[in-house]
Structure 1
């Protein structure tokens, strides 16, 4: 039996999971720009090595410490990622990022870079204990209403629910985080569920990877939306991502369900 892969720690789900050549035609459902053009598929953990080594200029040893894998494993993953990136650039092929063996960081104490981690800072700033039987619901929030553009959300209203009733609520600033990083904010706040209006496909994937259940396309009063959810009047929905804004955000629209679990109360490794 082959040895199982070690779960690799990743800071955030990639905010832009699909890249397309500019002159290759119209994007299809699966991220391929033209009929017969095969996409290059890079895993999330491969992407993380590119981000840490090339983006943040960490050494391979430092990258391994951050991802909780050996330097040898980093070398193999990084080499695979660079080869795929070169193939996409040189051959003009679409690049799609997803899957792999990874676990999203939640800003926990064991994070080697927690001094620079916004999730860890959020956890320290908002230390409200979350009981074992408490569900934590986040709502994109503006002036009492469900804010309609997830990627530009400046505040979440957080509701703690126990036995079907709201026992506490608090408005939390996102501190300038946007788009893909907002899923990390919610993970740092230990949210289980998100209610929002419009949302891009890349953010949908980030929420799925964080194990956060999504109720999209919701409008009106935020408190009433939570009441409606608890009464069973709205159902989970991740298909409202393209109805409230245009596609010019670098997010993929459609073909985004991977069923991942992550730091929103889960700690399994994605495979």
Structure 2
């Protein structure tokens, strides 16, 4: 029997859910947790151990998520396919104290108070 997939913690849900060339030759789906792994490693520059801790998974699981994400992005870019972002097994981790910046990333620049107002 397969093990139940644990929810991965992510800091944000992307506002843009699709990137596409003018005439796509199919599509590739990138889950929200795969995008988070790309963000943590390639944009924020975290090592795999720190990034895995932020997502609440083991380093090995993080590495598998990151490898899959990079493969899918490469397939979309090289193959001229649309990149669709969404789905997966995740939960939002940003639950900062009232009026304080989110502790997990620099990306959104919002405070917990602003989150509640949206």
TM-score (norm 2): 0.83
- In 2, the alpha carbon distance for the partners of 1:87 and 1:43 equals 15
1:2 is aligned to 2
TM-aligned CA deviation for residue 119 of structure 1: 7.9
Question: What 5-or-longer segments of structure 2 have no aligned partner?
Answer: none
Contact 1:17–1:97, Cα closer than 8 Å, also in 2: yes
1:120-131 correspondence runs (5 A) = 122-123=111-112, 126=113
Q: Distance in 2 between matches of 1:95 and 1:11?
A: 20
- Give the alignment partner of residue 53 of structure 2, picking from 53, 56, 65: 65
In the superposition, relative to structure 1, how do residues 79 and 118 fare at CA in structure 2: closer, same or farther (>3 Å)? closer
Determine the structure 2 residue equivalent to 1:224. Answer: none
**What's the counterpart of residue 172 of structure 1?**
none
1:120 positional shift: 9.6
1:40/1:96 contact within 8 Å kept: yes
Q: Contact conserved, 2:11 with 2:105, CA < 8 A, in 1?
A: no
- In structure 2, the partner of 1:50 is 38
Q: Does 1:78 align with 2:63?
A: no
Question: Counterpart of 2:11?
Answer: 11
Cα pair distance change 1:120/1:65, threshold 3 Å: farther
The count of corresponding residues between Structure 1 and Structure 2 is 114
Extract unaligned runs of 5+ from structure 1: 25-32, 127-184, 195-271
Shift of 1:116: 5.2
Q: CA deviation at 1:97?
A: 0.4
Task: After TM superposition, give the deviation of residue 122 of structure 1 in Å.
Answer: 2.4
Structure with a larger share of its residues in helix: 2
Q: Per chain length, whose mean CA-contact separation is higher, i.e. which structure has more relative contact order (CA < 8 Å, sep 6+)? A: 2
Once the two structures are superposed, what CA deviation does each residue of 1:175-208 show, in whole Å capped at 9, x if it has no partner?
A: xxxxxxxxxx43xx2x5xx6xxxxxxxxxxxxxx
Q: Describe the SS at the equivalent of 1:9.
A: strand
Higher radius of gyration, 1 or 2: 1
Instruction: Give 1:121 shift.
Output: 6.8
Measure the CA separation in 1 of the matches of 2:81 and 2:60. Answer: 29
Is the 1:42–1:84 contact (alpha carbons within 8 Å) kept by the matching residues of 2?
A: yes
Question: What SS does structure 1 have at the residue aligned with 2:111?
Answer: helix
Deviation at 1:7, TM superposition (A): 0.7
